[in-house]
Structure 1
Amino acid sequence: MKRILILTAGFGEGHNTAARNIQEAIEHLESDEAVVDRIDLFDSCYGKFSDLLRQGYLTAINRVPLIWRGIYSIFDRTTFIEDVLVAFAKMKQALDWLLRETQPDVVISTYPFYNFLIEEIFKEGKEKNFVQVTVITDSITVNSFWYRSWSDYYVVPNADTASILKSVGIDEFRILEFGFPVQLEFLERTKQGVELDAIQRPKILYIINSGRKKATKIIDELIKRKHWKATIVVGKDEKLFKNISDHVKGFEERIEVLGWTDKIPELLLNHHVVISKAGGATVQEAIAACCPMIIPQVVPGQEEGNYELLRRYGVACFAEKPSDIGSALEYLFENEGEKWKQLKSNLKKISKPDSSIRIARFVLEQSLLENTPSRIFPSLSNKVTELNFSLVKSTSSQPLLCDFHIHSTYSDGRLTISEIVDFYGQRGFDCICLTDHLVDRKRLIGKFCELTGLVLTPTKVAEYFETIEKEKKRAWKKYGMILFCGIEFNKDGYSPKTSAHLLGIDLKNPIDPCLSLKEIIAEIHKQKALAVASHPHVFQSVWGPNTLFLWENQQEYIPLLDAWEVANRNDLFSPVGLKKLPFIANSDFHKPKHIYSWKTILYCGKDPEEIKECIRSNRNVAITLYRDHKFGVILQKNMAELEIA
């Protein structure tokens, strides 16, 4: 399962429009294989204050555009971004938690501020385990906020904007000229071939999104031309809707008034011209629909670039006064619409109605390499047959490649249990253990985690055990691989020193996670299973919450635990090794990328009891960094005589 996180903000409709359309396209392409979360953290974290900021933004661009120009310029030139970030500490904390809990494969930002937060979260050099994509919603006059912080890729609406990014030093391969993400309906209707009525009966679309004081005068210009038909879109403002409806009484046959509507694509495709300000979303949707524009207003800053794009390609007219708008429309439609046809032809050269699909495909490709085992190394199935597994457990000592800490889709992993079996089996592993999260729901954090859907819930535990039991037989028959059933018991507190994660390896029956740690360990041992301290020390290279309770109380727990993780993912916990404690090394696997991490090598018989005894006795145990998918095959073929101290 692929997981995509889209971060957006409500400061200008372009950001939300882009985010919404990308989500729609991803779900259209892979509705069953991709989970898409679209979140506005400004709104989630600050609520009413976010509404005030949004209202202040709208007031600035509509009523005091010159002041907004100054603000826009300050953001473009400011070097005090760290001071700005301090004011958004709550949002940084929320994003940190969100990234850790959802473990996205790709993070898409349609608003530039999020990239600064991500940079701050990972400023200590910890590994990012996702691909970062920024979708720039502006054209030509691109504020430096868009590119001053890191992003793996930048999606831009056109070649002109791509040139701007190249000029400031962004690598060309990181700039993707896919277009502004518009609704899929543009592509579908374009394929069907939309034909407008004869130009002798022009249809005008007027979207009132600002400049409301002159709205009635513009409508009067439309009413004057008796052979024109018009559709007026006023949005969610009920008072404005009533005022405009009253104003056009008696002309309803020619003038239709709409409130909020989700039919903008259809309206753009079915009208000859649209009158609207040069907002990012509206401009790009008009381009996608090949609908020429009349621009009555250009907000300083980002909209100047949008209008410049239209001007460069000869697809719009600027007409600030209502009378000028009427004259411009007449000019477009005279001589059987000669000028209108020219603008229409120019638009077809730059229209990208497939933009959202192109972006969605790219995003899914980025997660494909991490999420589809059978497609990563298609030749692996042939290599597996070379191992010639026996279907009888071998009690003769041999090197065994093992991973005892793996998460599936039953908690916050990306692969199903069946996919995990194939993924590890194809790589020649000898023993693995599924250890999905089970939380102490008596703790507040545990209760919250259960609501996220990223941990095992009590209703799913029985099914989890049954599924692993079925897969055990297939894992052995097909790959000669031993599959253990396990649990990672989460005892999360408010600080690292009050938090502990405990692995139960080779469990036969469920255990109540609300028991105390010592009681859980006792229940694990009753089942002749292993109790292992999970990532007991401070993470250095891997990004995640520290769980230090067991280490802080090691003297109390050393006699109770069978082993301690000396390595987890890419982290080595040297203090564990220095204490000469029984140890193993694990992936803490959530998605295929995590296979390239520390693993355990045991030298013992390929038998569940021998494997567990080898770990308990801490003899013939070693760790290795797994770096090549052929490693398991090489190990089986070339290390038969290896004796591991």
Structure 2
Amino acid sequence: MKRVLILTAGYGDGHNSAARAVGEVLQESAEVRVCDVCAEALPEVFKWTKRLYLWMTARVPWLWRCLYDLSDTSDWSGGVPPGLGPVAVRLRVMLDEWKPDAVVCTFPLYPYLLDVLFRQGVHRVPYMTVVTDSLAISRTWLESDARLFAVSDEGTRSLLVEEKGIAPDRVVVTHFPVSPKVHAGDEAKSWCAGQAFKVLYVPQGRPSLVEEELVAMLDAAPEVRVTVVLGHKVRRLYRAVHGAALRAGRDRVRILGWTHRMPQLLASHHVLVGKAGGASVHEALAAEVPVLVNHFVPGQEEGNTELLHRLGGGRFVSTPAELRRALQFLLDQDGSAWSVMKQRLHQARMKGGAAHIAELVQQLDDFHV
């Protein structure tokens, strides 16, 4: 049985989500290990840099945008980036001891570390890169010797080939790898006036903004019912959400903390309101659920928002008032605008990415740089 090593990092949910989804499919035909080598090799550094990343993207996004733009001018192909030597050492041990037959990278650092290790004499293993961003692709993803780049859509493939200069036979549209558990549900396939219109809300930002957004959604129409998924933000946001829920009536708002049931929740709701993260956007696309984006990280997540716009399956709403108007527009005329969005997502068929990538992994020996 083939051994496949999947490398990820916990800077944002997209990398880990993609890695888990590919592993979930591959484990049916291969021995699989999903590893965050950054966290294993430098646990304290990883913990604090992750906190810094989350703080920066939430509180000073303009600073993150500057760093993101700077990364697009950086060249990581020359050697191990400063301070990351322990990560390269840990990866080398993993390659020497476990001896994988193929490697899948869902975080842009690892391909360069693999290239360095191979030049140093480590047994060469075929590997591919799964690009977890769409349409806005930093140079850091692209300058390794990866045999293949798996991308989410034709627009991203065109960008890599026509503007970034990647050979066409190295770029494959697979769609973003989401869990096979994510699917379009029958419960929210249609809607008409008088029925409950179910909104899945994953809040971002300060408590006052979250309360304003929840009130705006409830004010959009009496049919609106909101499921709020607080995740790890329960302590910070529960009071604001609970207060708004009490004023609206308990039957209109359901509050959840951390949940592993996002696939089932997506399948049973009519629209998602949340951040334009790679995992959340592409899970919604696979479930054929329209998305109203209320926040995006400058740089990589702008592309996800643009992808929704191009597919006709979502849009950005910058204020609670705009969110209310967007929901009202979707619900007008028995939900005709919502039905059009739903149909466009059905036609786009943005699903099956994990299975497609799993097939490519089994064929990596046939591809050469």
User: Could you tell me the TM-score, scaled by structure 2's length?
Assistant: 0.92
> Using the alignment, how far apart are the partners of 1:270 and 1:307 within structure 2?
23
How big is each residue's C-alpha offset from its partner over 1:154-191, in whole Å with a ceiling of 9 and x where there is no partner?
110111111111122222222111100011012xx44x
1:326 maps onto 2:331 in alignment = no
- The match for 1:317 is 315
Report the Cα offset of residue 84 of structure 1: 6.2
- The match for 1:248 is 245
> Using the alignment, how far apart are the partners of 1:177 and 1:99 within structure 2?
28
- Aligned pair in 2 of structure 1 residues 83, 185: CA closer, same or farther (>3 Å)? closer
- AA in 1 matched with 2:321: S
- The match for 1:145 is 140
- The match for 2:26 is 26
Match of 1:181, SS state, is coil
- The match for 1:509 is none
Instruction: Give the counterpart of 1:218 among 205, 213, 218.
Output: 213
Report the Cα offset of residue 193 of structure 1: 5.1
Match of 2:129, SS state, is strand
Report the Cα offset of residue 246 of structure 1: 4.1
1:10 maps onto 2:10 in alignment = yes
- The match for 1:43 is 39
Contact 1:293 1:315 in 2 (8 A): yes
1:279 maps onto 2:277 in alignment = yes
Match of 1:276, SS state, is strand
Report the Cα offset of residue 214 of structure 1: 0.9
Q: How does 1:352-391 map to 2 (within 5 A)?
A: 352-366=350-364
- Aligned pair in 2 of structure 1 residues 92, 13: CA closer, same or farther (>3 Å)? same
Gap regions ≥5 residues in structure 1: 370-645
Instruction: Give the counterpart of 1:196 among 189, 198, 223.
Output: 189
- AA in 1 matched with 2:254: E
- AA in 2 matched with 1:205: L
Instruction: Give the counterpart of 1:239 among 219, 235, 238.
Output: 235
Report the Cα offset of residue 320 of structure 1: 0.9
- AA in 2 matched with 1:160: G
- The match for 1:345 is 343
- AA in 1 matched with 2:283: E
- AA in 2 matched with 1:249: L
Match of 1:317, SS state, is strand
Q: How does 1:507-546 map to 2 (within 5 A)?
A: none
- The match for 1:462 is none
User: Could you tell me the TM-score, scaled by structure 1's length?
Assistant: 0.54
How big is each residue's C-alpha offset from its partner over 1:46-85, in whole Å with a ceiling of 9 and x where there is no partner?
1122111001111111111110000001111024665762
> Using the alignment, how far apart are the partners of 1:160 and 1:242 within structure 2?
39
Q: How does 1:187-586 map to 2 (within 5 A)?
A: 189-190=183-184, 195-196=188-189, 198-200=191-193, 201-210=196-205, 212-224=207-219, 225-240=221-236, 242-243=238-239, 244-249=241-246, 251-366=249-364
> Using the alignment, how far apart are the partners of 1:313 and 1:44 within structure 2?
39
Contact 1:139 1:305 in 2 (8 A): yes
Q: How does 1:98-137 map to 2 (within 5 A)?
A: 98-124=94-120, 126=121, 128-137=123-132
- The match for 1:172 is 168
Report the Cα offset of residue 196 of structure 1: 3.5
Query: Bigger shift: 128-137 or 98-107?
Result: 128-137
- AA in 2 matched with 1:154: F
- The match for 1:53 is 49
- The match for 1:423 is none
Match of 2:181, SS state, is helix
> Using the alignment, how far apart are the partners of 2:4 and 2:79 within structure 1?
30
Match of 1:248, SS state, is helix
Q: Which has the higher helix share?
A: 2
Report which structure shows greater RCO (CA 8 Å, sep ≥6): 2
- Aligned pair in 2 of structure 1 residues 310, 103: CA closer, same or farther (>3 Å)? same
> Using the alignment, how far apart are the partners of 2:80 and 2:363 within structure 1?
35
> Using the alignment, how far apart are the partners of 1:51 and 1:242 within structure 2?
25
Match of 1:6, SS state, is strand
How big is each residue's C-alpha offset from its partner over 1:236-260, in whole Å with a ceiling of 9 and x where there is no partner?
2331353123441252211001111
Count of matched residue positions in the alignment of Structure 1 and Structure 2: 360
Contact 1:241 1:259 in 2 (8 A): no
- Aligned pair in 2 of structure 1 residues 348, 254: CA closer, same or farther (>3 Å)? same
Gap regions ≥5 residues in structure 2: none
Report the Cα offset of residue 35 of structure 1: 1.1
Contact 1:140 1:160 in 2 (8 A): yes
- The match for 2:83 is 87
- The match for 1:624 is none
Report the Cα offset of residue 209 of structure 1: 4.1
Task: Please tell me the root mean square deviation across aligned C-alpha atoms, in Å.
Answer: 2.0
Contact 2:7 2:36 in 1 (8 A): yes
How big is each residue's C-alpha offset from its partner over 1:592-619, in whole Å with a ceiling of 9 and x where there is no partner?
xxxxxxxxxxxxxxxxxxxxxxxxxxxx
Amino-acid identity (%): 31
Contact 2:186 2:268 in 1 (8 A): no
- Aligned pair in 2 of structure 1 residues 325, 195: CA closer, same or farther (>3 Å)? closer
> Using the alignment, how far apart are the partners of 1:176 and 1:235 within structure 2?
33
Match of 2:128, SS state, is strand
- AA in 1 matched with 2:175: G
> Using the alignment, how far apart are the partners of 2:343 and 2:93 within structure 1?
49
- Aligned pair in 2 of structure 1 residues 14, 213: CA closer, same or farther (>3 Å)? farther
Contact 1:292 1:347 in 2 (8 A): yes
